[in-house]
């Protein structure tokens, strides 16, 4: 082979190699683009599934025209897993006024709430120091002891007062994940003037407010409530042996007569919707907080938080 022909052959081989590299590069970019497009389409479909459950929840709460809210109503029943194209959606609506409102603790004068919180902690086997840290965090002006906060990386300077979401409690250095997970099903972060719905409150929360009530009596009360929910706060207080006009006692210990109808309600204005949607092996979740107000009742979204794969 002549030198010229050998040179041409080498150039041809180099050109083929270069073109092959370009082809591989273009194919790789095309595949990455296709994957990104598919991921975007999947994300849109997951979002539509979550939006669909929000719309369902709003429709359920709007359709509920009863003057009382209880656990036997349609909105309180979990939505079974519903099939969607290539996936599914499921969820649950919860009445938040059946939980202990941590923002009551932002008011140092709300003695009944502070006493009930202590009892709830004891019942759930949460250390008293954890409760003290939560109170300190919610205290107007923030915690007096800034030491644990200064030692954080980066340091924090909590201002205290009411919170918007329970997730804000996770910032408390003395609150372990285990204690938060144990407490959170019984807590809510609502306006400080909200009342406890006695028709949806759990046994644990009711027991915290009713220390004088024997456990067996409380169980019977819950059984009766399931068959016939309370139609007024006064009816609830009468059922637990407390009269509206009972005068407050000077005894600083736990005292049931300190309770008044203003602390309780038989309906709810705040609700939490938890939705999960799947698409193939991907999953997305959302928590939405609804407020129901006005006549006719209007449902608004206070806030929502989504978690994507």
The whole-angstrom separation of Cα 73 and Cα 98 is 14
List, in order of start, the domains of the chain with CATH numbers.
3-96+269-307 (3.30.1300.30)
Give Cβ neighbours of residue 237 (< 8 Å, ≥ 6 apart): 243, 244, 259, 261, 264
Please provide the DSSP assignment of 144-160 as one string: S--HHHHTSSS------
Calpha distance 55→175 (Å, rounded): 35
Residue 230 CA to residue 239 CA, distance in Å, equals: 9
Provide the CA 238 distance to its chain's centre, in angstroms: 32
Provide CB contacts within 8 A for 188, sequence distance 6+: 96, 97, 99, 100, 101, 102, 166, 270, 272
**pLDDT at position 34:** 55
The predicted pLDDT at position 246 comes to 46
Query: What's the rounded Cα separation, in Å, for the pair 295 and 18?
Result: 73
| pLDDT at residue 153, as a whole number | 78
Q: What is the pLDDT of residue 146?
A: 83
d(CA 80, CA 233): 33
Residues of the chain with pLDDT under 50: 37, 246, 248-249, 252-257
How far apart, in whole angstroms, are the C-alpha atoms of residue 97 and residue 119?
18
Q: CA-to-CA distance for 167 and 158, rounded, in angstroms?
A: 14
Residue 30 has a pLDDT of: 57
Tokens 């407020």 found at: 291
Each residue of 8-45: b (16+ CB within 10 Å) or e?
Answer: eeeeeeeeeeeeeeeeeeeeeeeeeeeeeeeeeebeeb
Q: pLDDT value at position 255?
A: 46
Count other Cβ atoms within 10 Å, centred on residue 126.
21
């Amino acid at each position: 082979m002549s030198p010229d022909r050998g040179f041409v052959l080498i150039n041809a081989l180099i050109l083929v190699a270069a073109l092959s590299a370009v082809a591989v590069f273009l194919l790789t970019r095309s595949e990455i683009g296709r994957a990104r497009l598919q991921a975007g389409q999947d994300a849109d479909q997951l979002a539509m599934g979550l939006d669909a459950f929000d719309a369902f929840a709003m429709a359920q709460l709007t359709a509920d025209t009863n003057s009382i809210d209880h656990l036997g109503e349609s909105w309180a029943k979990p939505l079974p897993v519903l099939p969607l194209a290539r996936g599914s959606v499921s969820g649950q609506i919860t009445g938040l006024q059946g939980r202990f409102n941590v923002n009551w603790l932002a008011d140092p004068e709300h003695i009944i709430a502070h006493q009930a919180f202590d009892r709830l902690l004891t019942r759930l086997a949460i250390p008293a120091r954890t409760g003290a840290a939560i109170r300190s965090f919610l205290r107007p002006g923030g915690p007096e002891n800034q030491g644990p906060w200064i030692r954080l990386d980066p340091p924090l300077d909590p201002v205290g007062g009411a919170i918007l979401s329970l997730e804000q409690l996770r910032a408390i250095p003395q609150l372990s994940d285990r204690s938060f997970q144990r407490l959170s099903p019984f807590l809510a972060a609502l306006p400080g003037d909200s009342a406890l719905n006695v028709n949806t409150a759990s046994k644990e929360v009711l027991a915290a407010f009713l220390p004088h009530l024997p456990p067996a009596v409380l169980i019977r009360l819950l059984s009766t409530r399931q068959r016939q929910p309370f139609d007024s706060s006064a009816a609830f207080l009468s059922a637990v042996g407390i009269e509206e006009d009972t005068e407050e006692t000077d005894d600083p210990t736990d005292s049931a007569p300190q309770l008044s109808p203003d602390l309780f309600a038989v309906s709810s204005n705040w609700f939490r919707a938890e939705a999960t949607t799947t698409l193939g092996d991907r999953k997305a979740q959302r928590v939405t907080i609804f407020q129901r107000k006005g006549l006719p009742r209007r449902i608004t979204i206070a806030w929502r938080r989504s978690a994507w794969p």
